[in-house]
Amino acid sequence: MTPLARTASARLAAPSIRCLLRRAHDGSARLGRALAAAAATLLVAGCAAPDARLASGPAPDGTGDLGVVIERGSGSVSIVNTSRMQALGRIEGLGDLSHASVVFSRDGGHAYVFGRDGALTKVSLVQQRIEARVQQAGNSIGGAISADGTLVAAQNYTPGGVKVFDARTLELVADIPAEFEPGKLSRVVGLADLPGQRFIYSLFDADQIWIADLSDRKQPRLTKFTGVGRQPYDALVTPNGRHYIAGLFGEDGLAMIDLWAPQPQVRRILGGYGRGQEPLPVFKMPHLRGWAVAGRHAWLPAIGRHEVLIVDTETWAEVGRVPVAGQPVFVMARPDGRQVWVNFAVPDYDRVQVIDTQSRQVVSTLTPGAAVLHMEFTPRGDAVWISSRDANRVSVIDTASFATLGTLEMPAPSGIFFTSRAARMGF
């Protein structure tokens, strides 16, 4: 240490030393010796950085680095760190997770797990424990959280409808049956959040789309769109929140609503995209919730076909198709839109294909393990995590080189969800 630095340190420590010495003068000899030692410690500490004491002990994980992996066979979830590619802990006792989904609180500190058995569980990622749990239905396939983070909504098969809960306590706020005719309830699918305390969802059995506005929690206001097409099975909200697009299982085509329009109406797009062709048996329902919107184009799975459809989001007309290895389930765009990753139904569910969005060609075919069920990109898309249920592992793949960066052994992993979803609409 230079003479100047020693002088500065001494000046910083001097007031504390003088105070201690005054107290030592008035006390016993033993107290004096203790205080003198403390004064020497202060003098040494004056040479250290002001925040050196904060460096002791392991630094906590920031919630933006966390995620969860569903372990469907054991009814548990693993909390993972996406940068270190590590599992941090396991939370058990979450029931039937054979078709589970997850949304996150706005701060990324809590995960809301929707089980197939109708249970809704609030999990603390930081403390790695269950904070609240409610058995809210008999059969459920997912949910959403409101834009302001105060409401959590579950979409239910049995009984058909939507239930809305206080995000902090999981107390029931509203029960909205999907009663489309007297005594008839529809299964609800395609639930997504909209700006404000609003949720949009599809009624599979009623061929309808509803919007529920919870601005007044005691009297939710419903807007209903009828005759949207046969059997809407899943849906997505475009990244800007403008368009809600529902896939139709009962016919070739999709239903779309422009939510920015003064008087929104349902518009049919891609009608008869399989016209003149014999559809293949559908072994697994495709999913639209991958936010497969890359730049100006939407990339969508074709039901019963080995194709990915490309749609211009300005005109909503089909502008191309890409042949793929099997029936696509998830068609997911990398965050920058440069790639689209596709996994498949049986018998091709051991493969993943990567489409280059500029050339519109498959540029890589990967085989990460039997029964690929889900994919999740890291927040900026440098890697993708892929679950292989029958191989009991999650693979982390570099999206530039397609090399495997690491693997995590887990029992029957399925859904993968990262807290970066907390900042995205429709996730």
The reported pTM is: 0.84
Write b or e for each residue in 116-135: b if 16 or more Cβ atoms lie within 10 A of its Cβ, otherwise e. bbbbbbbbbbeeeeeebbbe
C-beta of residue 413 within 8 angstroms of C-beta of residue 390: no
pLDDT of 7 reads 39
Tens digit of pLDDT per residue, the chain (427 long)? 444 344 334 343 444 434 433 444 444 444 445 434 444 443 333 333 444 334 444 556 789 999 999 999 899 999 999 999 999 999 999 999 998 999 999 999 999 999 999 999 999 999 999 999 999 999 999 999 999 999 999 999 999 999 999 999 999 999 999 999 999 999 999 999 999 899 999 999 999 999 999 999 989 999 999 999 999 999 999 888 899 999 998 888 899 999 999 999 999 998 877 654 666 666 666 777 766 788 889 998 888 889 999 999 999 999 999 999 999 999 999 999 999 999 999 999 999 999 999 999 999 999 999 999 999 999 999 999 999 999 999 999 999 999 999 999 999 999 999 999 999 888 7
Sorted by sequence, the CB contacts under 8 Å of residue 276 that are 6+ apart come out as none
Task: Determine if residue 91 is left, alpha or beta; phi over 0 gives left, psi from -120 to 50 gives alpha, anything else beta.
Answer: beta
Q: What sign results for the dihedral spanned by CA atoms 269, 425, 412, 410?
A: positive
- DSSP 8-state class, residue 52: G
The Cα 136–Cα 119 span in angstroms is 6
The helix (run of H) or strand (run of E) holding residue 45 is helix 29-45
